[in-house]
Structure 1
Amino acid sequence: MAINTTDVLMIGRLGAEKLAGSVLAFNMFMVTWFFGMGLIQAVIPLGAKARGRRETREFRRIVRMGLWISVLYCLPAWCAMLFAEEILIALGQQPEIARLAGEYMIVLQWSLLPALMIMALRGFLTVMEKSRVVLIATICGALVNALLDYALIFGAFGLPRLELVGAGIASVFSSATTAAVLLYYVTHQRQLKRYAILGRIWRSDWTTFFRIIRVGTPIAITIVAEAALFAASAILIGWTGALPLAAHGIALQIASLTFMVPVGLSQAALTRVGLAAGRNDNAAIGRAGWSAFGITLMFMTSFALLFWTVPEAIISLYLDFDNPQSGEVLALAVSFLAVAALFQIADGAQIIGVNNLRGLGDTAVPLAYALVGYWVIGISLSLGLGIYLEWGGVGVWSGLAGGLATVAVLANIRFIRRQSLGLV
């Protein structure tokens, strides 16, 4: 998210149309990435249970097949992303903005493979409780992205001014840098290298491969259902014009940045719940799940207060006020961020609840909750309030909040009832 924040900060200085184009392309990329990430995320609960049972060889096979899935998934994904411009035009976007999005995507898409490999390696490191190196690798990638963004978007240091294409190139090099740091660590660190996750990497294990697919597919669909809800919100707001879409991109970027904290906590909860489930320790399952839930609510409530009290100061970081459009974008983004303050509390609660269930190996029912919450309730409210009642972007954001709150309530009630439902 630091990478995308840097992109938005710098692309925003190119004008509202180019920012709007990058928002559309990035949302499309994220939906594609999220599905692959969901498949690979099965490495964490499966690996945690294997480690909890002290089955080292099974754990190694799980990680290795996670890397296989990273490569094989990219082949059809790249083919789809080549037609980003045509897809966006078919979805009713303005041709010029769709053209800019396609220009950005043609480069950005190549960051998908290293991004997915990062997820497989991160799953291994998370289960091994070596999360600090993930932070270090991510910081390295973010620094590479910031430097190349500045150099290639604006043509600094004697390099050509490539604007959106430059931002895409920076993202590719950033993801590759992060993946390289993680790969070096897992193959050289004393405790980890004995797992030899790259040893005989060419050898298939189709039983483990399809086990990951079976567990990961409901996770992937759940994640995509949420990501597609946000992508659909960009499409809906895009119908109202480039300025609301640019404001939406800024508000969503700010909310997404704070959301990374519950994402990290949910990964920790998923791992600790999985390890405890492997030991059949229900008390430890409860401690892990509810600790993450409580910390998340405190954090998200604190930032909700910040969004309500000083929204202009936060949003102004993304705008160049020499551009005459910036004042209108600021006003729209402030109204969106006021709703985002409520919606992010629900978003944090739902990701903790869903990942607590995933740690128990429960993925099918949370998928049903996601489909109903996001696409029956969330998108219906967004359409009804935002388009038909003409509330605009505020109505669309209110719909998002309603969908997320529904999933949060359902998932956490199911975690409370885990013993009576036979999940433990």
Structure 2
Amino acid sequence: MQEAAYCYAMTGAMTLPQHLRAILFLGVPLIGGHLAQFAIGLTDTVMLGWYSVEALAAVTLATTLFFVLFIMGAGFGWAVMPMVAQYHAKGDEVMIRRATRMGVWLSLGFAVLVLPLLWFSGPLLQLLGQTEDLSIAAQSYLRITGLGLIPALSVMALKSYLAAMEHTRIVFWITACAAVLNALVNYALIFGNWGAPELGLRGAAVASLVTNSLSLVGVMIYINIVLPQHALFARFWRADTEMLARVFRLGWPISLTNLAEVALFAASAVMMGWLGEVTLAAHGIALQLATAAFMVHLGLSNVATVRAGNAVGRGDMAHLFRGAAAVAGLSIATSLVTVTVFLTVPDLLVSAFIDPEDERYGAILSVGISLLAMAALFQLVDGAQVVALGLLRGLQDTQVPMIMAGVAYWVIGVPASYVLGFPMGLGGPGIWLGLVMGLAVAGLLMVSRFVLKMRAADLG
């Protein structure tokens, strides 16, 4: 409750430094939680990269498909965040419980619905132009880790509830412990250490499944002990059709917006696969590094959603505008640091993922460095679009941003990636330059939408 008390005390006519302190107080644990969550996938990539290039290429392809479905299903969990933030500002505990429960319901329903796509992913990947061996290896990974989608999406909804309630430190600690556990189980099962069987790719999948399942148990225990007044899991099976419909109406545009962006990167992975295992492996490395930087922006976006939802609950638009400016400033500062790192030490970053003894080390390093230069280009625009999107979600404005995302990523980004990569012959860097173009358009549209919403509020 200390976090909530701090943030509620910091209301009214806050100065910019006060906004920054409040944002960091709430946001640093969220950013840490996202980085810890990302570390789970990063651990798989690094360890499998040291295991074999074939395993690295397979996990890049497999996790791309898994993440597409995960981030799409997460839309229903993310819908919980602005709703609970508003109800929390009003002190309405009944509505908090109703929104959270139905967010978990929708998350579970989505996970069960898409499981067959993961189980039979091999033929799907072959239809997308991947080799038979690579598709079979990716499917063996997804048949195990795919079961973890059920606890993973449930955890996402419950984390959104905790973030909206400003219990962000526990979100970090549970995710950090999960990341450590995942690394230990990976080390044992991928390489056959500590007397465990050497399972390679399947060992990483088992580790992810165990980690996601134990994370759900940890979150549920914390909620029952610290927030018993909400009784989230009492008579959990009882349907609440009215609230289910409300969460669904807010969540499905978030899901499709998430899908539009992540599918842009999934399409790029498919196109990279057409260029061969070396290029696909380099793409996986560069994408992991770019995603690590994105996690900071995503944490700031979550803070923007929570604080915007609280401001709406209090009817304080001036507070919302000043807070938005502070979040944007932190996002820009983060982007400048990331660009500097990506452009000054790319070889050091990329080489951490590859066994120096592998005969393809030099080729992967060369391609990875060129892709990382492209990743540096989209840092500012990617941060801008995700922060603006978080603010819009706090205002419960999700349908127009969904359309904007679809246009930016699929009318501009994917075609540009294909044309630059293949007809124009730029290969991997051309595909990534197309990503930059799509993200830049999305950033411009999302920021413009938020500015127009704020002007309309002032006129009102």
Shift in Å, 1:176: 1.6
**2:311 pairs with one of 269, 272, 276:** 276
Secondary structure of 2:422's counterpart equals helix
How far, CA to CA, are the matches of 2:90 and 2:172 in structure 1?
28
1:191-230 map, 5 Å = 192-230=227-265
How far, CA to CA, are the matches of 1:367 and 1:145 in structure 2?
34
Asked if the contact 1:140–1:177 (Cα under 8 Å) also holds between the matched residues in 2, the reply is no
Count of aligned residue pairs for this structure pair? 422
What is the root-mean-square deviation of aligned Cα atoms in Å? 1.2
1:161-220 CA-partner distances (Å, limit 9, x unpaired): 00000000000111122222211111101xx21111112111110110111111100000
Aligned twin of 1:359: 394
Secondary structure of 1:42's counterpart equals helix
Aligned twin of 1:46: 83
Aligned twin of 2:348: 313
**2:188 pairs with one of 151, 158, 161:** 151
| 2:89 maps to 1:89 | no
How far, CA to CA, are the matches of 2:55 and 2:388 in structure 1?
37
Shift in Å, 1:345: 2.0
Shift in Å, 1:265: 0.8
**2:53 pairs with one of 16, 27, 36:** 16
How far, CA to CA, are the matches of 2:396 and 2:108 in structure 1?
25
| 2:301 maps to 1:263 | no
Aligned twin of 2:431: 396
**2:369 pairs with one of 334, 342, 352:** 334
Match for 2:451: what amino acid? I
Asked if the contact 2:140–2:202 (Cα under 8 Å) also holds between the matched residues in 1, the reply is yes
Shift in Å, 1:422: 5.3
How far, CA to CA, are the matches of 1:371 and 1:183 in structure 2?
35
Asked if the contact 2:76–2:157 (Cα under 8 Å) also holds between the matched residues in 1, the reply is no
How far, CA to CA, are the matches of 1:72 and 1:221 in structure 2?
16
Deviating beyond 4 angstroms after TM superposition, the runs of 4 or more aligned structure 1 residues are none
Asked if the contact 2:87–2:96 (Cα under 8 Å) also holds between the matched residues in 1, the reply is yes
Match for 1:321: what amino acid? P
Aligned twin of 1:374: 409
Match for 1:239: what amino acid? W
Aligned twin of 1:160: 197
How far, CA to CA, are the matches of 2:410 and 2:336 in structure 1?
25
Secondary structure of 2:230's counterpart equals coil
How far, CA to CA, are the matches of 1:66 and 1:239 in structure 2?
38
Secondary structure of 1:418's counterpart equals helix
Secondary structure of 1:45's counterpart equals helix
How far, CA to CA, are the matches of 1:421 and 1:374 in structure 2?
27
Aligned twin of 2:281: 246
Aligned twin of 2:139: 102
Secondary structure of 1:361's counterpart equals coil
Secondary structure of 1:318's counterpart equals coil
How far, CA to CA, are the matches of 1:141 and 1:15 in structure 2?
25
Secondary structure of 2:453's counterpart equals coil
How far, CA to CA, are the matches of 1:419 and 1:224 in structure 2?
27
Asked if the contact 1:145–1:170 (Cα under 8 Å) also holds between the matched residues in 2, the reply is yes
Asked if the contact 2:53–2:281 (Cα under 8 Å) also holds between the matched residues in 1, the reply is yes
How far, CA to CA, are the matches of 1:288 and 1:184 in structure 2?
33
1:220-249 CA-partner distances (Å, limit 9, x unpaired): 000010000000000011111110000000
Moved more, 67-76 or 254-263: 67-76
Secondary structure of 1:388's counterpart equals coil
Aligned twin of 2:72: 35
| 2:202 maps to 1:171 | no
Shift in Å, 1:52: 2.1
Match for 2:118: what amino acid? M
Aligned twin of 2:155: 118
How far, CA to CA, are the matches of 1:68 and 1:94 in structure 2?
37
Asked if the contact 2:84–2:165 (Cα under 8 Å) also holds between the matched residues in 1, the reply is no
How far, CA to CA, are the matches of 1:302 and 1:254 in structure 2?
13
**1:134 pairs with one of 171, 179, 184:** 171
**2:449 pairs with one of 402, 414, 419:** 414
